[in-house]
């Protein structure tokens, strides 16, 4: 081999090493200062406490950090309390984005974060893997995709259970309307009508958050409802069923959303003979022997966190985000995280009945399945061992 050929071979060999070295450096996520900054805007103090959601996200991140991080990168996680105050929520988001320079929001759970900050997230090009979507804006903005089913899609799913499994012919719905949820709940029922070809027998959007419920249970009886769906939370669920029992009403299936699925409700209504059902957003948390819950239970017990539905949401948000991070080759930045979330393949997790995907849609409601629980002598029992998954709305 002559001198020129030797030089050419050496040059090509060096180039090959450079390519190999570059490929090795790009194999997996990297971080400039050893950390990946992530945040959450959640209601911790005020009229509600959703802190268990981001605290479960924190626990999942802590476990990864203790094991060396994501390809050596530790998750630096900040939970900001919005105090259910719009001004505080806006400031919290700006602080996380501009000062903390988070690459994404993960595990947020708030009464108003999405409604207040949706435009900020869009303007700043930040994406949020919401641990618990509460307000309607969480499911109608391009920059937020919750890991929970949410009350509006869950209304569709529980209604679908009523007609598809309980064979209800006269489904009635009574909704409490807070803020801008009027259209979202109506849309949930409209989607059920499209899926089933049935019409709602009675839709009442005047159910009070507080007050006497007697007129409503009488109305349900007199209108001939064979199933009644409401979106009440724990105390109102108990109040409604006690009112039904006081009126000696029979022959109606009572359907509630995820906020009714608590051990306190089960104990308070242990003596009721009413058929009471609730839709879950994840694998039923009371099923301690469920294989789907096994890893979540192990991780939460190790972290000293309670086993609640809220902690399932926070944990699932963390797992989704960690899976997405592991697919990034190169430095983890806001831009690379956005690209990964927008282009991600659906991720399945045993805690959820639907695969999670963020994607490029203008609105996100990826979770489309529920398991239904029935109250039996003060204990929640699984009514639908298989997920009740909604068909696509045409």
Judgement on whether residues 140 and 262 belong to the same structural domain of the protein: no
The strand pair at 29-30 and 330-331 is best described as parallel
Judgement on whether residues 270 and 379 belong to the same structural domain of the protein: yes
pLDDT at 337 over 70: yes
Q: DSSP letters along 257-303, please?
A: -GGG--HHHHHHTTT--S-EEEE-SSS-TT-TT-GGGHHHHHHHHHH
Residue 11 lies in a domain: no
Task: Give the residue numbers spanning the domain of 275.
Answer: 151-280+371-389
What local confidence, expressed as pLDDT, does residue 13 receive? 40
Residue 229 lies in a domain: yes
Burial code (b: 16+ CB inside 10 Å, e: under 16) for 300-310 equals beebebeebbb
Residues 328 and 348: their CA atoms lie apart, in Å, by 18
Quick one: which H or E segment has residue 59? helix 52-66
Judgement on whether residues 196 and 262 belong to the same structural domain of the protein: yes
Residue 23 lies in a domain: no
Q: Is the distance from CB of 41 to CB of 297 less than 8 angstroms?
A: no
Judgement on whether residues 325 and 268 belong to the same structural domain of the protein: no
Judgement on whether residues 188 and 111 belong to the same structural domain of the protein: no
What local confidence, expressed as pLDDT, does residue 248 receive? 97
Judgement on whether residues 307 and 340 belong to the same structural domain of the protein: yes
Domain total in the chain: 2
CATH number at residue 357: 3.40.50.2300
Judgement on whether residues 378 and 263 belong to the same structural domain of the protein: yes
Q: Report, as an integer, the average pLDDT of 162-182.
A: 95
Residue 59 lies in a domain: yes
Judgement on whether residues 241 and 267 belong to the same structural domain of the protein: yes
Judgement on whether residues 122 and 36 belong to the same structural domain of the protein: yes
Q: What is the pLDDT of residues 279-299, one digit of tens each?
A: 999 999 999 999 999 999 999
Judgement on whether residues 270 and 384 belong to the same structural domain of the protein: yes
- Categorize the per-residue pLDDT at 179 as very low, low, confident or very high, splitting at 50, 70 and 90: confident
Q: Is 120 exposed, middle or buried (0-12, 13-18, 19+ CB in 10 A)?
A: middle
**HSE, side-chain direction, 13 A CA sphere, residue 27:** 7
The DSSP secondary-structure symbol of 200 reads: -
Residue 304 lies in a domain: yes
What local confidence, expressed as pLDDT, does residue 217 receive? 98
Instruction: Report phi then psi at 273, rounded to 5.
Output: -100, 5
- Under DSSP, is residue 118 helix (H, G, I), strand (E, B) or coil? helix
Q: Is the distance from CB of 283 to CB of 312 less than 8 angstroms?
A: yes
What local confidence, expressed as pLDDT, does residue 147 receive? 98
Residue 232 lies in a domain: yes
Q: Is 172 exposed, middle or buried (0-12, 13-18, 19+ CB in 10 A)?
A: buried
pLDDT at 9 over 50: no
Judgement on whether residues 332 and 261 belong to the same structural domain of the protein: no
Q: What is the pLDDT of residues 311-324, one digit of tens each?
A: 999 999 999 999 99
Q: Which of 9-23, 33-47, 123-137, 184-198 has the lowest mean pLDDT?
A: 9-23
Judgement on whether residues 205 and 318 belong to the same structural domain of the protein: no
Q: Report, as an integer, the average pLDDT of 244-252.
A: 97
Query: What percent of the chain has pLDDT above 90?
Result: 90
Q: Is 247 exposed, middle or buried (0-12, 13-18, 19+ CB in 10 A)?
A: middle
- Under DSSP, is residue 89 helix (H, G, I), strand (E, B) or coil? helix
Q: Is 94 exposed, middle or buried (0-12, 13-18, 19+ CB in 10 A)?
A: middle
Q: What is the pLDDT of residues 89-139, one digit of tens each?
A: 999 999 999 999 999 999 999 999 999 999 999 999 999 999 999 999 999
Angle at 101 between CA 132 and CA 38, to 5 degrees: 35
Q: Report, as an integer, the average pLDDT of 5-14.
A: 36
Residue 24 lies in a domain: no
């Amino acid at each position: 081999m002559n001198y020129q050929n030797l030089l050419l071979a050496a040059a090509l060999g060096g180039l090959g090493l450079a390519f190999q070295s570059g490929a090795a450096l790009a194999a997996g996520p990297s971080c400039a200062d050893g950390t990946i900054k992530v945040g959450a805007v959640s209601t911790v103090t005020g009229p509600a406490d959703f802190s268990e959601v981001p605290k479960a996200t924190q626990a999942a991140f802590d476990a990864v950090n203790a094991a060396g991080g994501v390809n050596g990168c530790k998750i630096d996680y900040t939970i900001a309390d919005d105090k259910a105050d719009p001004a505080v929520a806006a400031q919290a988001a700006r602080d996380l984005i501009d000062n903390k320079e988070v690459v994404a929001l993960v595990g947020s759970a708030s009464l108003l974060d999405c409604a207040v900050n949706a435009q900020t997230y869009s303007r700043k090009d930040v994406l949020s893997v919401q641990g618990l979507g509460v307000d309607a804006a969480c499911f109608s903005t391009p920059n937020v995709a919750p890991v929970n089913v949410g009350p509006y899609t869950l209304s569709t799913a529980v209604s679908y259970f009523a007609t598809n499994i309980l064979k209800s012919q006269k489904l009635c719905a009574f909704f409490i309307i807070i803020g801008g949820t009027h259209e979202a709940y109506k849309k949930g029922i409209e989607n059920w009508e499209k899926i089933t070809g049935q019409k709602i027998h009675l839709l009442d959007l005047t159910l009070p958050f507080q007050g006497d419920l007697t007129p409503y249970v009488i109305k349900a009886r007199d209108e001939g409802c064979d199933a009644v769906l409401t979106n009440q939370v724990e105390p109102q669920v108990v109040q409604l069923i006690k009112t039904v029992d006081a009126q000696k009403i029979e022959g109606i299936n009572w359907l509630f959303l995820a906020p009714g699925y608590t051990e306190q409700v089960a104990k308070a209504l242990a003596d009721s003979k009413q058929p009471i059902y609730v839709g879950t957003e994840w694998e039923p948390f009371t099923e301690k022997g469920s294989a789907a819950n096994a890893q979540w239970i192990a991780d939460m017990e190790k972290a000293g966190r309670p086993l609640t539905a809220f902690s399932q949401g926070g944990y699932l948000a963390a797992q989704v985000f960690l899976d997405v991070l592991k697919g990034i080759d190169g430095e983890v930045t806001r831009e690379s995280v956005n690209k990964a979330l927008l282009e991600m393949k659906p991720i399945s997790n045993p805690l959820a009945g639907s695969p999670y995907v963020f994607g490029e849609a203008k609105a996100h409601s990826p979770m489309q399945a529920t398991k239904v629980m029935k109250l039996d002598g003060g204990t929640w029992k699984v009514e639908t061992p298989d997920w009740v998954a909604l068909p696509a709305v045409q």
